[in-house]
Structure 1
Amino acid sequence: MPNTPPDKGEAAPEAVAVKPVSKRRELAIRVVSALVLIAVVLLITVLPDHRPFLVLLSVGVALLCIEWGLMMAPNVSARISVAVAVAAIAALFVGFLGHPLLSILVLCFGSLCAGLYAYRLHVGWLDAAYGVLYIGWPAIVLMWLHQTNRGVEWVFFAFLIAWAADSAAFAAGRLIGGPKLWPRYSPNKTWAGFAGGLIAGMLTAGALSDITGLFKHDTSASVVGLLVALATMGGDLWESALKRRFGVKDAGTLIPGHGGLLDRVDGLMFAIIAIGGIRLLVMLGTEI
């Protein structure tokens, strides 16, 4: 069959040219949305009044609960979201009033109530109960951190180490590639990204320690950075496993270029727990 020149109406060359443009646009949307979110969070965090921070956390918890309800029980998502949100936010407000231990008890009781309500609706009661703990626990710890002595600096440690580790893991994974970290649940994550995240967490902690003086030794700061970075990537992997369990690609569509809010803060939630444990050790007199 004789070769024929391509028809003038063919758009193959244009299709090839459009692909990188769309990737650049997607990256730009991702970066801009992340910068806006980070700026808002940091601005509210540094305010001396704890109430705006409480409002920020309450809004974040409510949005996370909406995403949780949509993932675990799309047919009755509104009811589940309300049940999980009421339990988590009630515990958060108790913690804000200066009763952290009581807030944990309220959170556990709310988890039980949400589970019983889900059981009555004939959906996964364990998923509903776990959702309260999964979302509420980091919120309580973060509120407690913010109210402690030099709390803003401790919150910044959690935020900046988690963000640095997450960003470095993403960049190293894309640039270096290599063997997959946990292909069954998160096929895009690599060991190179994991190593990059750990290094970035340690370097960020060291730099923050030099600025704030929270830790007496550089080695202590590096260990804190390593632990928090490990927690960050552990939280990211855990959320990937949860999404596989619920059969969804993203937790939501709230943040352009990032998916849902849970997709953005999954690692941060575990990082907050890690920093909270370290802060408690310091308050109990452990020298770091």
Structure 2
Amino acid sequence: MRVASALILAPAAIAATWAGGGWFLVLIALAASLMAIEWGLMSAPAAPNRISVAVGVALLAAIFATFGGYVSLALVLLVFSAVAAALFARRMGVGAIDAAYGVLYLGWPLILIIWLRGTESGFGFVVLLFAVVWASDSLAYVVGNILKGPKLWPRFSPNKTWSGFFGGLAAGMIAGALSAWWLDLGAVTPLWGAMLGLAAAGATMAGDLWESALKRRYGVKDAGALIPGHGGLLDRVDGLMFAVVVVAGARVFLIATGQG
């Protein structure tokens, strides 16, 4: 089921990213809406619909501002929306900090991936991001199940192993190097791509562990049941949400140093 889901979702995500414009906006807006629903169900079971709407509206406001080229405004909106969501949640009698954190936790990656796609060679950098995340996540799962061994962080994620962790790092390096060789990424060489892939793969698995810790905190097994074999959308993109920070940071460095 995991493989079948990936074979459907991956081409759709790449196609919308390649098309850009309105198609990419629809992809991101749809993802934001679904994640907001999952966040409400997971973090505020006493008032899931209202918290989902509050978080979703905040995310969509930041998304449309970023898509219009107003990244600074989007960041300001995100902060004020987090405060507004917290006040609204407090009035509903549910966790104010959880609502505010949901806006910030989900909003940052959405802003960054839209900004990344809009830069020069943006399609290539987003594809590199996808390739590294999917490769590291998949190989970590496969290697961990085959080799097993000591647990990585048994308190929050009892199924993850050190063997899977190192398998994921290796996969991320390979995916980064191949992406830099195949795609138009400006000054990014295969060696540079391998190092970026290594850092992004590490962030991917950190994001996965962080999501596991959040689910333990809220007492749920999965963030949702949207994707067969994966759980919810948050379960599928938890690593990508951390990895996009690394790739966007590398892109900022390249722009700042005049390398594209």
**Same fold at TM > 0.5:** yes
**Who is 1:93 aligned against?**
64
Offset of residue 217 of structure 1: 3.7
Q: Write the mapping of 1:185-224 to structure 2, written as runs, cut at 5 A.
A: 185-214=156-185, 215-224=187-196
Counterpart-to-counterpart distance in 2, 1:105 and 1:96? 15
RMSD across aligned positions (CA): 1.2
Asked whether the equivalents of residues 121 and 184 of structure 2 are also in contact (C-alpha less than 8 Å), the reply is: no
Is 1:155 the counterpart of 2:126? The answer is: yes
Distance 1:113 1:251 in 2: 24
1:242 corresponds in structure 2 to 214
Counterpart code for 2:79: C
> Per the alignment, in what secondary structure is the counterpart of residue 39 of structure 1?
helix
**Which residues of structure 2 form unaligned runs of 5+?**
none
TM-aligned CA deviation for residue 212 of structure 1: 2.1
1:111 maps to 2:82: yes
Instruction: State TM-score, norm by structure 1.
Output: 0.88
Matched, 1:285 2:252: no
Alignment-derived partner of residue 244 in structure 2: 272
Q: Which moved more, 1:32-41 or 1:188-197?
A: 32-41
Separation of aligned partners in 2, 1:286 and 1:181: 39
**Partner AA of 2:147 in structure 1:** I
2:138 maps to which residue? 167
Kept after mapping to 2: 8 A contact 1:179/1:191: yes
Does structure 1 conserve the Cα–Cα contact (< 8 Å) formed by 2:116 and 2:248?
yes
CA displacement 1:129-148 (0-9 Å, x = unmatched): 00001111111111111111
Matched residue SS, 1:46? helix
Amino acid aligned to 2:28: L
Q: Which residue of 2 aligns with 1:63?
A: 34
Q: How does 1:248-267 map to 2 (within 5 A)?
A: 248-267=220-239
Residue 128 of structure 1, aligned match among 89, 99, 107: 99
Deviation at 1:219, TM superposition (A): 2.9
User: Shift in Å at residue 213 of structure 1?
Assistant: 4.9
Distance 1:96 1:286 in 2: 24
2:53 aligns with 82
Alignment partner for residue 205 of structure 2, among 225, 233, 252? 233
- Partner residue in 1 for 2:6: 34
| Secondary structure of the structure 1 residue equivalent to 2:152 | strand
Contact 1:50/1:146 (8 A) holds in 2 = no
Answer with 1 or 2: which has the greater Rg. Answer: 1
Task: Specify the SS of the correspondent of 1:63.
Answer: helix
Question: Secondary structure at the residue paired with 2:160?
Answer: strand
Aligned match of 1:25:
none
Look up the equivalent residue of 2:114 and give its one-letter code: M
Aligned residues of 2:224 and 2:232 also touching (Cα < 8 A)? yes
Which consecutive unaligned segments of at least 5 residues does structure 1 have? Answer: 1-28
Instruction: Give the residue type in structure 2 aligned to 1:116.
Output: L
Deviation at 1:33, TM superposition (A): 1.2
- Residue identity matched to 1:280: V
Count residues with an aligned counterpart: 259
Paired residues of 2:46 and 2:94 also in contact (CA < 8 A): no
TM-score of the two chains, using structure 2 as the length reference? 0.97
Partner of 1:6: none
Q: How far apart, CA to CA, are the structure 2 residues paired with 1:213 and 1:150?
A: 6
Give the CA deviation at 1:287. 5.7
Give the letter for the 2:217 counterpart: R
In 2, Cα distance between equivalents of 1:111 and 1:75: 19
> 1:233: Cα distance to partner?
0.3
Following superposition, the deviation at residue 239 of structure 1 comes to 0.1
